[in-house]
Amino acid sequence: MTGDRMAAAAAVPAIRIRSLCKAFGRNRVLDGLDLDIGRGESLAVIGGSGTGKSVLVKNVIGLMRPDSGSIEIDGVETVGLTGRARDEILAKFGVLFQGAALFDSMTVWENVAFGPVHNLGMPRREARDAALAKLAQVGLGRVQADRYPAELSGGMQKRVALARAIATRPQILFFDEPTTGLDPIMGDVINDLIVECVRGLGATALTITHDMASARKIADRIAMIHGGRIIWAGPAGDVEESGNEAVDQFIHGRTEGPIRTAVHVS
Amino acid sequence: MNAVASVGRATLNFFAAAGRLTLFAGMGAMHCVRPPFHFRLIGRQMIEVGYYSLPVVGLTALFTGMVLALQSYSGFARFNAESAVAVIVVLSITRELAPVLAGLMVAGRIGAAMAAEIGTMRVTEQIDALTALSTDPFKYLVAPRLIAGTLTLPVCVLAADLIGVFGGYLVAVNKLGFNTSAYLKSTVQYLEVLDVVSGLVKAAVFGFLIALMGCYHGYHSRGGAQGVGTATTNAVVSASVLILAFNYLITEAFFAR
Ligand SMILES: Nc1ncnc2c1ncn2[C@@H]1O[C@H](COP(=O)(O)OP(=O)(O)O)[C@@H](O)[C@H]1O
Ligand SMILES: [Mg+2]
């Protein structure tokens, strides 16, 4: 590859979202949202509860179909893709769901081994060893590996879900509220693990959160969603001096400001 | 005016739901016949549907056969009783009662269990997680259940046929004092292959319907634990109603001339 072409490839963002719209009945959740996430970048989308953060991620993954707009992954338009083409895109993804979403009919190691067994065709014995290694990476031992998810604490479940998300060595990782529902210390453990995993894989990461401490720790760049659009985006270090009233209000947790007004009007 | 609007809305909703269900059934059926097959999952579901339903289905059939013998004797078969009672028992069991009662019992057990399991997977985002791991939930969750339901319920019903006839025999011989060999001879004499086959065809259709309703209502459940509860109830009720409706249709297809 020539230098020029490499530069061009690097300039294609891992995720490029344009004019994304998604409504449920009259509830216009995403309303012309634009967002770019560069290769190897870790971006956090912050915003209040119910502002459509999870809906955004589900549209990008393909669990929901946008009403209109464009979502490109590595330069490939993914809206409306089905079948094998969709599977190829999905193979690049690793997802940590808001509620961990572990398969409760399977043991912990079977959860982690699911992707390798079903998608990479890895034999079960080998997949078990690989799963144990991934679990060790998130600080879980053999004792937990043979348990069922319901027998683990919330923090442990999140760690298993993280191990499952990275098990197929995906290029693009999605974390939906990774620290919500955890105590601050366990939350920080998860943050550290996420940073470690993303760096280890050299992956692109999109983290959804309303936890500012988590966003600052995980992300290179922060974007704020409000009213169905990204109203501010910038380097994580600049979020304090965004000059945007809504961002200021959100990161300082104030009740007075544009966000509250918007809630009352709609 | 309002009444017209609400009738219209109800009609639209009905056709929308019927369309969704037909689409769902079509997708499910397509994944049943198109490889790859998850044999491990199909096997597990077959054990769940068949093996664990046998006790309840067997008991239902036993008592039904017994009561049939008693009723048909005391009601309308005091003359020429041996052959009449035997024929009534064996035909009612194989054609109607074994498939319908087994279907209803299994709908209660399996339809509810499937709706609850898949519904819980839906509301806890496990189905989304499956999709995100490039696994089609229709292939992985729906198809194995449809296959297991369709193949396994006929086996249950065949067992129920035997047990039901045996129940009738027990009462006829021990309580009504019938002659053993005459009773057995009449049982076999008037029984045709079509009687048993029609019952087994019913069972296969009912098994498919039960699994379909369980999967469909589970798959579309929303709103936490309450939503899963509603899905479970709807799965059992709709499966039961469909069983009775299809029972009529299949009977007509087989026996109306
Ligand atoms: N499947 C759905 N059907 C209808 N409305 C939905 C659905 N999913 C999300 N919503 C609505 O979209 C809005 C945003 O939800 P969500 O993205 O989950 O918020 P959050 O930012 O807290 O993750 C909410 O008002 C929610 O009610
Ligand atoms: Mg959310």
Domain spans in chain A, listed from the N-terminal domain onward: 40-252
Q: In angstroms, what separates the C-alpha of B19 from chain A's closest C-alpha?
A: 20
CATH architecture designation of domain A40-252: 3-Layer(aba) Sandwich (3.40)
| Of residues B124, B126, B132, nearest to A61 (C-beta) | B132
* pLDDT for B76 beyond 80: no
Tell me what percent of the residues of chain B surpass a pLDDT of 70.
96
Residues from chain A that touch B129, judged by Cβ atoms under 8 A, are 95, 97, 101-103
Alpha carbon of A210 to ligand 2 centroid (Å): 9
Instruction: Quote the pLDDT of residue A195.
Output: 92
Which pLDDT band, with edges at 50, 70 and 90, does A1 fall under? very low
Distance from CA of A63 to the nearest CA of B (A): 7
Contact A231, A238 (CB under 8 A): no
Distance A60 CA to ligand 2 centre (A): 14
Q: Report residue B1's pLDDT band, with 50, 70 and 90 as the boundaries.
A: low
**Per-residue pLDDT at A260:** 64
Please state the separation of Cα A257 from the chain's center in Å. 28
Residue A111 has pLDDT above 90, yes or no: yes
Angle of helix B224-255 relative to helix B98-106, nearest 10 degrees, comes to 170
pLDDT (tens digit per residue) in A38-86: 999 999 999 988 899 999 999 999 999 999 999 999 999 999 888 888 8
Distance CA A134, CA A130 (A): 6
Domain coordinates in residue numbering, chain B: 38-250
Q: Quick check: A91 and B131 CB within 8 A?
A: no
Q: How confident is the model at residue B123 (pLDDT cuts 50, 70, 90)?
A: very high
- Amino acid found at B236: V
Task: Select from A204, A244, A254 the least CA-distant residue to A223.
Answer: A244
B82 Cβ under 8 Å from any chain A Cβ: no
Span B179-197, average pLDDT: 90
ipTM of the complex as predicted: 0.88
Task: Please indicate whether, in this complex, the C-beta atoms of A101 and B124 are within 8 angstroms of each other.
Answer: yes
Q: Measured over all CA atoms, what is the biggest interatomic distance in chain A, rounded to whole angstroms?
A: 58
- pLDDT for the residue numbered A265: 46
Instruction: Look at residue A266 in the predicted model and tell me its pLDDT.
Output: 43
Query: In whole numbers, what is the pLDDT of chain A averaged over residues?
Result: 89
The reply to whether B60 touches chain A by the CB within 8 Å rule is no
- Report the pLDDT value the prediction gives residue A245, as an integer from 0 to 100: 85
Mean pLDDT on A130-149: 92
Residue A86 C-alpha to ligand 1 middle, in angstroms?
23
Phi and psi torsions of A47, nearest 5°: 165, 160
Given the CA of residue A52, which atom of ligand 1 is nearest to it?
17
Whether A104 and B126 lie within 8 Å, measured CB to CB? yes
The stretch B6-20 carries a mean pLDDT of: 90
CB of A175 within 8 Å of a chain B CB? The answer is: no
- The answer to whether A63 contacts B134, with C-beta atoms less than 8 Å apart, is no
Q: Do A97 and B129 touch (CB under 8 A)?
A: yes
pLDDT digits (tens, 9 = 90+) for A177-224: 999 888 888 889 889 989 988 888 899 999 999 889 899 999 999 999
Strand partners, A226: A229
Please confirm whether the linkage preceding B36 is cis (ω < 30° from 0): yes
Report how far ligand 1's centroid is from the alpha carbon of A245 (Å). Answer: 24
CB distance A118–B133 less than 8 Å? yes
Distance of residue A88 Cα from the nearest chain B Cα, in angstroms: 9
Q: How far apart are CA B33 and CA B54, in angstroms?
A: 27
**Average pLDDT of the segment spanning A158-176:** 93
Provide the pLDDT for residue A139. 87
**Tens digit of each residue's pLDDT (9 = 90 or more) over B217-253:** 999 998 888 999 999 999 999 999 999 999 999 999 9
Residue to mutate (ligand 1; options A30, A55, A259; most atoms within 8 A of CB): A55
Q: Provide the mean pLDDT of chain B.
A: 92
Q: Is A63 on the interface with B (CB under 8 A)?
A: yes
Per-residue pLDDT reduced to its tens digit, A2-22: 556 555 556 789 999 999 999
More confident residue, B83 or B17: B17
Q: Which residue has the tokens 């998604």?
A: A22
Q: Tell me the CA–centroid distance for residue B143 and ligand 2, in Å.
A: 30
| Residue A70 Cα, gap to closest chain B Cα (Å) | 19
